[in-house]
């Protein structure tokens, strides 16, 4: 072959591994790395690629005299030596289809035949097994007999670890993974001490489940039996993470195996778990509802061989994958607090079920967050506990994909399928996943193929729906039996020492149960660390006013731009008006009041984070928290100019088009960082129902169930303006239905000053309660709503706003209208037109907690009035009426009678006809003022 010619084998190499033979091209490492570290790793990858290319090129210069005619073969037109390069590629692409992954061997008889892995597909036969062929970029000598090449490929890609890598478009990452796997043939080589530790962890996992099964027969525990390899995997991960400098590991998982993880990984006292099985809880009714034992979380500090590491397992409802984005938000908050720009000090680990990972859409939403600048955490290690069943549903009814993990390919995450009955392979897979995550700061998935020894819960009868599977499981040895026998054969352990270890652990659990009997579990303290200084109840009201000169100075700093930055004329005009507003020259609109609330908090050292669809500009073009140079397109956040202090920070993020995952992410952020004002904004308020699970299971009930507070603000544009059923209502009634135990705040502010004080209060008060903020739309530019500068420099948020009427007017009031939100201004303007000054209007700004004392005092002024009406824009079956009418009735004088006026009950929130809307609104106003 002429040295100047490029063979087909070399062309194949270039096609598969990059067009630039001298390097690997641009490697998408995080920009947050230091330039030196980035260049070092890039150069390292270039060197690796050059070496492999040279190896492939030299291998292809094989002596042509040894090549037999191939005209009668399938690929007759391909250069003979290069056929093995195609075969190598095929094993990397499809080897997982022939891997030994299923501990039960249920799928072994109908395993798909992949034609690409057959020798004859490449015009090769068994007669070629002894021939010498080039190995290309295989981690092997440049030339080897075909049988040895096949041995490497089958061991690496078809054993107990079966990697899926070829969907990864980043050459550097793919080649790195290939090198790692092929260099060890996907086989672990642990020391005897490491093997003993793995056996110990498996033993404790099995014995713990067996103890619970016998002592608490019939109780649900969602056992880990069949998937016990999770325990040594997580234990190995903790050791390796600490060695690599990780300071915090944040875990999320559903209920299967949670008790085992709590006991054998998190270090939760087993006696506390026994107490929970016996129905003894530390909480009483005054401390909330509590939760079942297999939803509880735990935080602890663990000492490893290389140092301490903090572990946190999040609380989780039964909604399985809902915890996924919550964990991501928690990780991001911790990384920001530690200024961990490299994202290597705090790392997330998510344990999934196979049916949930494939079936629940929030998984795809969460994966989509992984590389977005406002949400990325530097990669998550995903472990899918693949029981090969979902409750009673078989895999072929649970997904349309080959594997339950295929969804992760959307972010090009490497996927390592591993046989759950080989704990050493499982630990090796975890080792590789950990190293990949640290190096490339990207998601990685382990598909732990195992089984579920019992039914969905321990009282279930799975053999009814899966008779063959459970006949096999009944005969299948436990993981402990298998691995113990293996180590006995190797001479790593003896019968005597393993029997002694089992006896000692059983005795330990028995003693703990006896000592615990009748005692309450230890009381966890949820107000430690970052939560120190906060309280669940009784927080003192903070001062939310800001001096006028401070506001003026902030406005001038924020809205003065460097020379050369070209604002749009519209935005420039808005910003000049805001400076005038803060000078007291003109009234303050909503956008200005909101911006000054943030700027004042940030200047005082505060931390503000806002995210949502179009939040930078604002759906209604009123916020302009991000502005863009009209000549260069460069973006800038003006409020960042006043950041002041180590944790002073302002960020606003235009989120992806998702509600559930993004809201959950912000909830997770808020519970991990109480000293930040975290806001999730809906484009329109009703879109929040896409995240109803997060609202129901976390935001409104998390404190009652788990004693975990959150200060998250849900910013929900709300108001009836003829825009139809999907752009009118933020579903006020649903949040009021969820309100109890002082769990949330539901507010509907009607002035910019109220919004200013409300936002500052939410940050400054020493408690954390979710704030459900029903924000205006059309009112944003309604001058009648605007506030004065003195409204920001004095007072505070008022749960109730009453009219200041002279005594003589009060005496002549014939009816009092109670309302909340935008309808107040409709009533006010209609009253002015009709000159019905005998009608008083009272605004309820806080619907929960309800300002009952304030309303009683206000209604006492109108002792001569007998007619009181609650007026709402929403249909009768929606809005606040049904949820607050008992409060209203109890606030009236005995002589006063309560009525209500609203739209007629509707199945939808509003009419789709603007004409009908206008007619309904006018009728509502007429009835309120004249009937």
Q: What is the pLDDT of residues 328-372, one digit of tens each?
A: 999 999 999 999 999 999 999 999 999 999 999 999 999 999 999
Q: CA-to-CA distance for 571 and 281, rounded, in angstroms?
A: 57
| pLDDT classification of 40: cutoffs 50, 70, 90 | very low
Nearest to 282 by CA among 550, 525, 604, 514: 525
CA–CA separation, 591 and 623 (whole Å) = 5
For 735, the token pair is: 């949040």
Task: Please list, in sequence order, all residues whose beta carbon lies within 8 angstroms of the beta carbon of residue 108, skipping any fewer than 6 positions away.
Answer: 102
pLDDT in tens, 302-324: 999 888 999 999 999 999 999 99
- Site of tokens 């209609």: 830
Mapping DSSP to helix (H, G, I), strand (E, B) and coil, where does residue 654 land?
A: strand
Which residue's structure tokens are 């009836």?
720
Tokens representing residue 435 in the block: 């190293």
Angle at CA of residue 874, ends 871 and 875, nearest 5°: 100
- How sure is the predictor about 523, in pLDDT bands with cuts at 50, 70 and 90? confident
Instruction: Round to whole Å and give the CA distance between 771 and 799.
Output: 13
Mind listing the pLDDT tens digit for each residue in 819-851? 999 999 999 999 999 999 999 999 999 999 999
Residue 807: DSSP 8-state = H
pLDDT at 306: 87
User: What is the pLDDT, as a whole number, of residue 4?
Assistant: 37
N-terminal to C-terminal alpha carbon distance within the chain: 101
User: Token digits for 924?
Assistant: 């509502």
- Tokens, residue 543: 């001062």
The whole-angstrom separation of Cα 786 and Cα 586 is 10
Looking at residue 47, its pLDDT comes to 52
> How far is the C-alpha of 220 from the C-alpha of 229, rounded, in Å?
21
Mean pLDDT over residues 662-689, rounded? 95
CB 294 within 8 A of CB 221: yes
> Which of 317, 225, 218, 309 has the alpha carbon at shortest distance from 265?
309
Higher pLDDT, 1 or 350: 350
pLDDT band at 37 (very low <50, low <70, confident <90, very high): very low
| CA-to-CA separations, 623 to 726, 743, 760, 822, 825, in angstroms, rounded | 22, 29, 17, 19, 22
CA–CA distance, 720 with 729 (Å, rounded to integer): 7
Average pLDDT over the chain reads 90
Q: Are 747 and 846 in contact (CB under 8 A)?
A: yes
Contact by Cβ (8 Å): 677, 725: no
pLDDT surpasses 90 at 500: yes
User: Could you tell me the pLDDT band of residue 463, with boundaries at 50, 70 and 90?
Assistant: very high
**pLDDT top residue among 897 and 306:** 897
Tell whether the model's pLDDT for residue 16 goes beyond 60: no
pLDDT in tens, 174-204: 999 999 999 999 999 999 999 999 999 999 9
Residue 644 has a pLDDT of: 93
Confidence of residue 284 (pLDDT cuts 50, 70, 90): low
Query: Kindly report the CA angle at 455 between 450 and 457, in degrees rounded to 5?
Result: 115
Q: How large is the average pLDDT for residues 376-386?
A: 97
Please spell the DSSP secondary structure of 88-120, one letter per residue. HHHHHHHGGGG----TT-TTSTTPPP-GGGSGG
Q: E strand or H helix at 458, and its extent?
A: none
- CA 164, CA 415: separation in Å to the nearest integer? 5
Q: Which residues of 543-555 are buried (b: 16+ CB within 10 A; e: fewer)?
A: ebbbebebbbebb
Closest CA to 645 of 602, 697, 615: 602
* Maximum pairwise Cα distance, the chain: 116
Contact in structure between 380 and 414 (CB atoms under 8 Å): no
Q: Alpha-carbon distance 195 to 198, whole Å?
A: 5
Query: Considering the entire predicted model, what is its pTM?
Result: 0.90
For residue 648, CA distances in Å to 3, 213, 329, 671 come to 63, 52, 19, 18
- One DSSP character per residue, 225-294 reads TT-TTHHHHHHHHHHHHHHTT--EEEEEE-STTHHHHHHHTS---HHHHHHHHTT--S--GGG-----GG
Query: Is residue 166 scored above 50 in pLDDT?
Result: yes
Q: Which pLDDT score, from 0 to 100, does residue 286 have? A: 63
- Summarize pLDDT for 696-745 with one digit per residue, the tens: 999 999 999 999 999 999 999 999 999 999 999 999 999 999 999 999 99
230-243 and 423-440 helices cross at what angle (nearest 10)?
A: 40
**Mean pLDDT in residue range 611-616:** 95
Residue pair 426/205 in contact (Cβ under 8 Å)? The answer is no
Residue-wise pLDDT for 910-923, tens only, equals 999 999 999 999 99
As a dihedral over the C-alpha atoms of residue 801, residue 802, residue 804, residue 806, rounded to 10 degrees, the angle is: -170
- Please, which pLDDT band fits residue 49 given cuts at 50, 70 and 90? very low
């Amino acid at each position: 072959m002429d040295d100047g010619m490029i063979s087909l084998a070399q062309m194949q190499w270039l096609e598969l591994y990059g067009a630039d033979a001298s390097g690997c091209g641009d490697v998408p490492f995080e920009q947050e790395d230091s330039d030196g570290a980035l260049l070092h790793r890039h150069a390292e990858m270039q060197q690796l690629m050059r070496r492999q290319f040279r190896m492939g090129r030299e291998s292809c210069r094989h002596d042509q005299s040894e090549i037999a005619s191939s005209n009668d073969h399938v690929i007759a037109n391909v250069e003979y030596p290069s056929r093995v390069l195609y075969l190598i590629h095929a094993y990397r692409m499809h080897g997982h289809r022939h891997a030994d992954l299923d501990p039960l061997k249920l799928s072994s008889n109908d395993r798909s035949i992949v034609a690409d892995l057959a020798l004859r597909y490449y015009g090769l036969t068994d007669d070629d097994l002894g021939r010498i062929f080039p190995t290309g970029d295989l981690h092997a000598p440049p030339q080897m007999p075909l049988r040895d090449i096949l041995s490497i490929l089958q061991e690496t890609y078809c054993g107990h670890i079966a990697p899926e890598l070829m969907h990864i478009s980043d050459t550097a990452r793919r080649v790195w993974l290939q090198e790692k796997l092929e260099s060890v043939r996907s086989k672990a080589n642990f020391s005897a001490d490491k093997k003993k530790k793995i056996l110990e962890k498996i033993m404790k996992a099995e014995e713990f489940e067996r103890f619970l099964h016998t002592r608490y027969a019939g109780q649900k525990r969602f056992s880990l039996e069949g998937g016990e390899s999770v325990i040594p995997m997580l234990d190995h991960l903790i050791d390796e993470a600490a060695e690599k400098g990780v300071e915090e590991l944040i875990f999320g998982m559903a209920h299967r195996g949670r008790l085992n993880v709590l006991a054998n990984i998190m270090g939760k006292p087993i006696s506390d778990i026994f107490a929970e099985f016996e129905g003894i809880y530390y909480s009483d009714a005054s401390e909330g509802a509590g939760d079942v034992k297999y939803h509880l979380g735990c935080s602890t500090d663990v000492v490893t061989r290389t140092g301490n590491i903090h572990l946190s397992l999040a609380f989780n409802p039964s909604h399985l994958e809902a915890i996924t984005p919550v964990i991501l938000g928690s990780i991001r908050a911790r990384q920001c607090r530690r200024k961990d720009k490299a994202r290597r000090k705090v790392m997330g680990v998510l344990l999934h079920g196979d049916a949930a990972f494939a079936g629940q859409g929030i998984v795809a939403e969460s994966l989509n967050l992984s590389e977005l600048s406002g949400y990325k955490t530097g990669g998550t290690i995903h472990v899918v506990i693949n029981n090969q069943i979902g409750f009673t549903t078989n895999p072929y009814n649970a997904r349309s994909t080959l594997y339950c993990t295929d969804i992760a390919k959307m972010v090009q995450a490497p996927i390592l399928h591993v046989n759950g009955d080989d704990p050493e392979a499982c630990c090796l897979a975890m080792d590789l996943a950990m190293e990949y995550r640290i190096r490339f700061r990207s998601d990685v998935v382990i598909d732990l193929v195992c089984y579920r020894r019992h039914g969905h819960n321990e009282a279930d009868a799975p053999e009814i729906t899966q008779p063959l599977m459970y006949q096999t499981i009944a005969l299948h040895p436990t993981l402990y039996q298998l691995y113990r026998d293996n180590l006995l054969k190797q001479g790593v352990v003896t019968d005597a020492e393993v029997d002694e270890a089992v006896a000692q652990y059983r005795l330990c659990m028995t003693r703990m149960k006896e000592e615990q009997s009748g005692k309450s579990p230890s009381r966890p303290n949820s107000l430690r660390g970052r939560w120190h200084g906060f309280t669940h109840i009784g927080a003192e009201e903070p001062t939310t006013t800001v001096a006028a000169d401070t506001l003026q100075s902030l406005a001038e700093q924020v809205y003065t731009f460097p020379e050369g930055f070209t604002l749009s004329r519209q935005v420039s005009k808005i910003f000049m008006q805001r400076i005038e507003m803060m000078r007291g020259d003109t009234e303050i609109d909503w956008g200005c009041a909101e911006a000054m609330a943030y700027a004042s908090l940030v200047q005082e050292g505060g931390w503000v984070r806002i995210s949502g669809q179009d939040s930078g500009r604002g759906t209604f073009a009123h916020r302009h928290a991000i502005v863009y140079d009209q000549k260069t397109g460069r973006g800038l956040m003006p409020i960042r100019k006043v950041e002041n202090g180590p944790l002073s920070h302002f960020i606003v993020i235009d989120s992806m088009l998702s509600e559930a995952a993004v809201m959950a992410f912000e909830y997770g952020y808020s519970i991990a960082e109480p000293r930040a004002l975290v806001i999730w904004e809906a484009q329109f308020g009703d879109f929040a129902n896409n995240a109803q699970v997060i609202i129901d299971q976390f935001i409104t009930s998390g404190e009652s169930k788990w004693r975990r507070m959150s200060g998250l603000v849900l910013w929900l544009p709300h108001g009836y303006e003829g825009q139809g059923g999907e752009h009118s209502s933020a579903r006020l009634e649903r949040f009021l239905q969820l309100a109890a135990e002082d769990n949330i705040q539901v507010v509907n502010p009607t002035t910019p000053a109220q919004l200013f004080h409300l936002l500052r209060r939410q940050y400054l008060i020493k408690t954390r309660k979710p704030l459900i903020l029903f924000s205006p739309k059309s009112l944003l530019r309604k001058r009648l709503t605007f506030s004065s500068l003195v409204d920001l420099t004095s007072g505070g948020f008022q749960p109730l706003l009453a009219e200041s009427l002279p005594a003589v007017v009060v005496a002549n009031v014939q009816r009092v209208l109670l309302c909340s939100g935008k309808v107040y201004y409709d009533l006010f303007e209609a009253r002015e037109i009709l000159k019905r000054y005998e009608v008083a209007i009272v605004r309820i700004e806080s619907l929960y907690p309800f300002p009952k004392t304030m309303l009683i005092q206000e209604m006492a002024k109108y002792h001569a009035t007998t007619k009181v009406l609650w007026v709402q824009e929403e249909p009768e079956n929606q809005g606040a009426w049904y949820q607050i009418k008992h409060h209203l009735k109890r606030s009236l004088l005995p002589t006063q009678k309560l009525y209500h006026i609203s739209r007629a009950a509707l199945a939808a929130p509003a009419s789709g006809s603007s004409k009908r809307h206008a007619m309904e609104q006018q009728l509502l106003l007429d009835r309120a003022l004249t009937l």
